[in-house]
Amino acid sequence: MARKIFSRIGLRRDFNFSDLSDPKEALNNLLDTLIDDVDSTFISEDLDAIRNVFAEGLTNGGYQNVIGSAVETTDNNGINQAIIPRITYQNRLDKFEVISGDPRLNGGNGLTANYFNEDQVQNTTEVFTGISTGGAIPSDNFWEEGNFEYTGKVHPQTVNAAGGVKWEGFFIPTQTGTYEFQLNSSFNYTSDFEAEGYTSGIGTYTEYARVGLAHTVTATTSGTDTVTIPVASIVNVGYGMSVSGSGIREGTTIEGLDGSEINRTTGAITLANSNGDPIITANSNISVTFFRDPGTPVSNRFNTHVLEKYRRYRIRFRIFVPPGVSGFSIEKTANFDFTPPEGVSRDLRYHHLYSLDYDFSDDAKGSFNRFLDTSVLFGGGSIGGTTQPGYVKVKSSRKIDIKYVPKTSLAAITRRSFNASWSTGTKVIGLTDTTDIEIGNYIFGTGLTGNVHTPVRVVSVAINKFIVIDQNTTGSGSNQTLTVINHRGFVKRVTASASSGTLTMTNGDTAGLTGKMIAIWNGSTQYTGITTSGNNTQVTLDPSQGFGTRSVYFYHSRGLVDESLKTFCVPTETRCVVVTANATTGDTSLTVQSTAGIGNGWSVQGFAFNSGTTVNGAPSGNTINLSQAITKDIAAGANFTATNSGGNRQLCCPPTDTSPPFNATEEGLNTTASEPNLKLDDGNIKFDEFTAIIDTNKITTYSASDKSNNRLKFEVGNGTTYDILCV
């Protein structure tokens, strides 16, 4: 039987074109048939982008790394068992994203990169202008370690090897402090960082670098190695540039070893020359030129203002081939590094940087990020206030233990005073000694805010370096005195004077003040309480005092302030009245601390009053007459409610005397005359000490044959229960 064998030379993969004298040409012929367009070709070089790309599976060592990593649970017998169905690594990554969100914790996606053709590069402030004849180039955010090296075009779609890149986006620090950024590039370049105090609108950036091929400036040379130029020109020079001018040795350069050779504050630059002293002859007001050849790398570094951790700041870098220079004939590199506070220089990696379109919304945040945003951190916060709007109420299944000691004097609330200087729009105040200053403290001082009585708050402390406050300063200060006060319980500060127990404010008002708050000033009596009457500028002091014009601070008298009844207990309608002298059952008048704001016919409410009891006539001095006699004794210091609201307002004035249905005495609680006997229907009563005084006539002698089934059980502190025999 005859057979016919067909052979197609050059197409078998197992031969790898080794049977041909020119395997590349054979591949080109094969690839070219994949495209029908007569004007297009498909050749071997088109595969360069995917050469050496291959799939890689787990090796034996890789599998060993995940041994024992299955998620387990512990049963009732204390035995660990793998959860069924298995939780995969993908499950756990999905859960991590829910917790950390997007943006992830400490993880950005790189700056937004916009590319420009040669005809868009201009010698202007904005660098890149106009519309290119080469068409628009798509943006991306490719940024890995901040090290870029271009062998040809800056972008494959650019017209030629010139042009440039603008990277812009956000930098988010993970520490509070000053950061240093370094850029080394053979391109012309600019470096910009968000201006201190920037909020919105124009003036986004402060320019720290604008380095080109040459910059000429009027300068002064001194000593053997120093040239001083205008501070504004510092942005135009970089480490590695050459320097020329009258009296300057040929071959002189700026060689930076530690970054101290260029002083941005004074304009002084230290020069270097391997052939001798850089300055041959010192001169004043001479023309000095800083220059380099195209493609020569030059570095520039700058320090930011103090940055707050986890806050985002705008950042921008631009690199470009200068107009008139061929991009093919020069080296094209750009390397970005940064140094965090108290750290070492490192690559500026993408996870520190965020693109312009990054989603920072609450919807993109994970549960952990949202928890941090709404947490009351060390130093306190405001529950239900404007600083932490996520808090509405405090709810607990156990007691809330608020350890709060009311303030007693101006010295007790003052943490310290110091002199400082600062600029307008800053959040940082330099301080070489931060002793006694803690996060949360309030600071008062002229120039910090628009009103001398509106404080700023400490949000971060860099020990013996600076403090960070919660808002930008509205003005500048030069050696101004600042006062730091304790924030715990603080309400507000005003300027006021007092006469005969009435405090009158000349700068400030009574907004936010309520009865039983404490007033503190220089010379105040300890625990001076206030009573409000609805007057916008006056409160009553107890005990009564007088003083000249000075600053007065108001603090809460209690650690836990419940404002849930604020709209229910309006001061002009409801007053909490304190009794200053003991009153006994049957009295129809009471001596009180203050009758301010109380009128005839007001309802009097509390444990000692019959329903419907009202104020009988206008109060006279500190005496209130009642329409009905009181039904129980009232001890001095107890309080009751007076209101004209027409409803029950006893919730507004919780009783300070908790003795009812007993009478309070200095020795303890007594039963009342109308109810002399204590009767327990059910439940338990706990006593620290129990003493019973019994008339001997009430004592009955029992014989051995007498029996009683009535017992009163007492459990003492050691847990032993005793029975008291009852008739």
Q: Which is more confident, 339 or 97?
A: 339
Q: Can you name the residues that pair with 550 across neighbouring β-strands?
A: 496
Residue 177 in any domain: the answer is yes
When the pLDDT of each residue in the chain is averaged and rounded to a whole number, the result is 84
Contacts 24+ apart (CB under 8 A), 364-371: 364/101, 364/102, 364/103, 365/101, 365/103, 366/97, 366/98, 366/99, 366/100, 366/101, 366/102, 366/104, 367/98, 367/99, 367/101, 368/99, 368/100, 368/101, 368/105, 369/100, 369/101, 369/103, 369/105, 370/101
Res. 392 pLDDT band, cuts 50 70 90: very low
Q: Are residues 243 and 162 in the same domain?
A: no
265: number of Cβ within 10 Å:
7
Residue 379, pLDDT above cutoff 60: no
In a domain, 145, yes or no: yes
Q: Are residues 505 and 479 in the same domain?
A: no
Backbone φ and ψ for 260, nearest 5 degrees, come out as -90, -5
Residue 424 has pLDDT above 90, yes or no: no
Give, in degrees to the nearest 5, the angle at Cα 721 between 715 and 726.
Answer: 95
Residue 336 lies in a domain: yes
The CATH number given to whatever domain includes residue 478 is 2.40.30.180
**Residue 148 pLDDT > 50:** yes
pLDDT band at 415, cuts 50/70/90? very high
Asked if the structure places residue 633 within a domain, the reply is no
Total domains, the chain:
5
Yes or no: say if 340 and 177 are a contact pair by the CB < 8 Å rule.
yes
Q: Are residues 131 and 196 in the same domain?
A: yes
d(CA 332, CA 147): 11
Q: Is the pLDDT of residue 12 over 90?
A: no
Residue 566 or 524, more confident: 524
Distance CA 109, CA 354 (A): 5
Q: Which residue has the higher pLDDT, 56 or 7?
A: 56
Instruction: Quote the tokens at residue 528.
Output: 């001076």
Last residue of a domain, one of 291, 316, 347: 291
If asked whether residues 18 and 37 sit together in one domain, one would say yes
Decide: 117 and 165 in contact? Cβ < 8 Å.
Answer: no
Q: What is the pLDDT of residue 698?
A: 74
Lowest model confidence (mean pLDDT) among 179-183, 278-282, 399-403, 484-488: 399-403
Residue 360 has pLDDT above 70, yes or no: yes
Query: What's the chain's Rg over C-alpha atoms?
Result: 41
Residue 74, SS3 per DSSP: strand
Are residues 2 and 36 both part of a single domain? yes
The set of residues, in sequence order, having a beta carbon less than 8 Å from that of 425 and lying 6+ positions away, is 196, 197, 198, 472, 473
pLDDT at residue number 93: 67
**Burial letters for 140-154: b for 16+ Cβ neighbours within 10 Å, e otherwise?**
ebebeebebebeebb
Question: Which helix (H) or strand (E) is 397 found in, with range?
Answer: none
What band does 375 get if pLDDT is binned at 50, 70 and 90?
A: low
pLDDT at res. 385: 36
Range of the domain at 234: 214-291
700 and 727 Cβ atoms separated by less than 8 Å: yes
| pLDDT band at residue 220 using 50, 70 and 90 as cut-offs | very high
The answer to whether the CB of 187 falls within 8 A of the CB of 293 is: no
Identify the weakest region by mean pLDDT among 307-311, 317-321, 461-465, 676-680. Answer: 676-680
514 and 471 inside one domain:
no
Instruction: Say whether pLDDT at 17 is over 70.
Output: no
Residues 202 and 220 in one domain: no
Residues 257 and 139 grouped into a single domain: no
Please tell me whether the overall predicted TM-score, pTM, comes out greater than 0.75 for this model: no
In this model, does residue 391 exceed pLDDT 50? no
pLDDT value of residue 38: 62
Q: What's the pLDDT at 394?
A: 57
What pLDDT score was predicted for residue 130? 79
> In this predicted structure, which of 360-364, 380-384, 563-567 has the lowest mean pLDDT?
380-384
Q: What is the pLDDT of residue 244?
A: 96
End residue of a domain, out of 555, 581, 602: 555
Residue 693 has pLDDT above 80, yes or no: no
Would residue 76 count as lying in a domain?
A: no
pLDDT for position 410: 94
Structure confidence by residue, pLDDT tens digits, 242-289: 999 999 999 999 987 677 899 999 999 999 999 999 999 999 999 999
pLDDT band of 96, cuts 50, 70, 90: low
Does residue 714 carry a pLDDT above 80? no
Cβ–Cβ < 8 Å for 522, 414:
no
pLDDT tens-digit profile of 647-656? 899 888 887 7
Residues 119 and 195 in one domain: yes
- Return the pLDDT at 344: 87
pLDDT tens digits, residue range 285-295? Answer: 999 999 999 99
Instruction: Report the relative pairing of strands 164-171 and 353-355 from DSSP bridges.
Output: antiparallel
How much is the pLDDT for 176? Answer: 85
Does a structural domain hold residue 92?
Answer: no
Residue 705 or residue 171, greater confidence: 171
> 205 or 563: which carries more pLDDT confidence?
205
What is 194-245 written as a DSSP string? EPTT--SSS--EEEEEEE-SEEEEEEEEETTTEEE--GGGGGG--BT-EEEE
The CATH number given to whatever domain includes residue 183 is 2.60.120.1560
Q: Is the pLDDT of residue 19 over 80?
A: no
Given this model, what pLDDT does residue 103 score?
Answer: 57
**Domain end call among 433, 465, 485:** 485
CA distances from 415 to 46, 440, 442, 521, 623 (A): 72, 12, 10, 15, 42
CB 10 within 8 A of CB 17: yes
For residues 520-524, average pLDDT: 95
Tell me what percent of the residues of the chain surpass a pLDDT of 90: 40
Cβ-contact 158, 131 below 8 angstroms = no
315-349 pLDDT, tens digit per residue, is 999 999 999 898 888 899 999 999 998 788 999 99
| Whether residues 7 and 147 fall in one domain | no
Are 123 and 186 in a shared domain? Answer: yes
User: Among 419, 438, 439, which Cα is nearest to 429's?
Assistant: 419
Percent of the chain with pLDDT over 70: 85
Query: 156-200 pLDDT, tens per residue?
Result: 888 888 999 999 999 999 888 889 999 999 999 999 999 988 877
The predicted model gives 33-40 an average pLDDT of 65
pLDDT at 449: 92
Residue 461 pLDDT > 90: no
- Confirm whether 686 is domain-assigned: no
Whether residues 480 and 498 share a domain: the answer is no
pLDDT for 388 = 41
Q: For position 376, what pLDDT does the model report?
A: 53
Checking if the pLDDT of 579 tops 70, the result is yes
Average the pLDDT over each of 59-68, 89-98, 284-293, 327-336 and give the range with the smallest value.
Answer: 89-98
